[in-house]
Amino acid sequence: MRLSALLLPLVFALPLIAQAQTAEQVAIRADDNLRGYGDVQMQLEMTLISPSGETANRSLRVRSREADAGTDQTLMTFDTPRDLAGSGLLSHNRASGEDEQWLYLPAVKRIKQIGARNKSGPFMGSEFAFEDIVTPFWQKFHYQSLTEESLDGLPCFTLERIPNDSYSGYTRQRLWIDKEQYLIRRIEYFDRKNALLKTYNATDFQQYAGQYWRPGQMLMVNQQTGKQTRLQWRDFSFHGGLSERDFSQNALLRVR
C-alpha cells in the first residue's frame, strides 16, 4: 500500500482536530472573562413562571469567592418567600476533581450534601439544575464543531461542549459566545436522549469596576414543559474581603 493511502485518513481528520482546538480556545477565553474577580456579593430575584404565565418570586443573597486559581466558592441564601427564608446552597466548584454542594433547609435543621447523581435535579423548584446554578470551569467539558452565527444581530461563535461528568443530565450543550467580548449569550441543553431540553439566554450585560462583565438577567426555558425561570441580578459589590469561613458548612448554619 502506498504511503499516501495510509496518510489519507489523517489528512481528512486534520480540519476536525484543528476545529476542536479552536473551539476550546474560544471556551477558554470566555471562561477567562469570569475569573480574577477575587470576591463578589450581589442580590438576586428569582421568578418561576408556569406555562400559563403564573409567577412565584424569590429573593436571594449571593456571595462568591475565588479560593484559588482552580476553585470557586458560592453561597446562595434565600430571604423570601417565608417558607424558604434561611435556606442556603453552598457550592465548591473546581476546575479539576469533583465539585461539592451542600443544601441547608431550616425546616429540617440539617445540612444535606448533593450527591453527584443528584446534580441534574432542579434547584429549589426552578428550571436551573444544581449543576447549572454555578458557572463550571472550561475544563469540565470537551469541545467540538466551532462555527459562526448571529444571535439577535450579534456576531457570535457557536460551539458544542460535552460534559466530562458521566452523571450530568446533559449529553451536550450548544453555546453562543459573542465575538467582541467573548461573553456566553445563549446555551441549548440536550437531555440524555439527545433531545433539546432547555434554552438559556443571558442579557443586559454590564461591566463593573472597568473589567468584570456580568449579565443583568438570565432566562432558562424548559422546551419540553414550557416552564421558565428568570434570574435578575443587581447590586454587585466586588472585593469585599470575603474569607474561607464565609463559605464553610458552618456558614450555611449561620445564614439568616
pLDDT at 17: 41
**Residue whose C-alpha cell is 443530565:** 169
Where do the domains of the chain lie, and which CATH numbers do they carry? 21-254 (2.50.20.10)
Quick check: 78 and 225 in contact, CB under 8 A? no
Indicate the pLDDT class of residue 2, thresholds 50, 70 and 90.
very low
pTM: 0.89
Question: Residue 19: pLDDT above 60?
Answer: no
Buried b vs exposed e over 159-194: b needs ≥16 C-beta within 10 Å? bbbebebeebbbebbbbbbbeeebbbbbbbbbbeee
pLDDT of residue 166: 93
Query: What pLDDT does 109 receive?
Result: 86
The pLDDT of 44-61, averaged and rounded, is 98
Which positions ≥6 away from 53 have C-beta within 8 Å?
A: none
Q: Please tell me what DSSP assigns to residue 129.
A: B
> Can you give the pLDDT at residue 253?
85
pLDDT in tens, 99-136: 999 999 998 889 999 998 899 999 999 999 999 998 99
Q: Is the pLDDT score of 57 beyond 70?
A: yes
- Across the chain, mean pLDDT equals 91
Measured in degrees and rounded to the nearest 5, phi and psi for residue 75 equal -125, 120
Q: How far is 164 from 98, CA to CA, in rounded Å?
A: 11
Q: Judge whether residue 1 has pLDDT over 50.
A: no
- CA-based nearest residue to 60, from 45, 75, 81, 47: 45
Instruction: Provide mean pLDDT across the span 171-176.
Output: 98
Task: Give the three cell numbers for residue 139.
Answer: 475544563
* pLDDT 10s digits, 131-169: 999 899 999 999 998 999 999 999 999 999 999 999 999
pLDDT digits (tens, 9 = 90+) for 177-217: 999 999 999 999 999 999 999 999 999 999 998 899 999 99
Give the mean pLDDT of 29-45.
95
Residue 18 has pLDDT above 70, yes or no: no
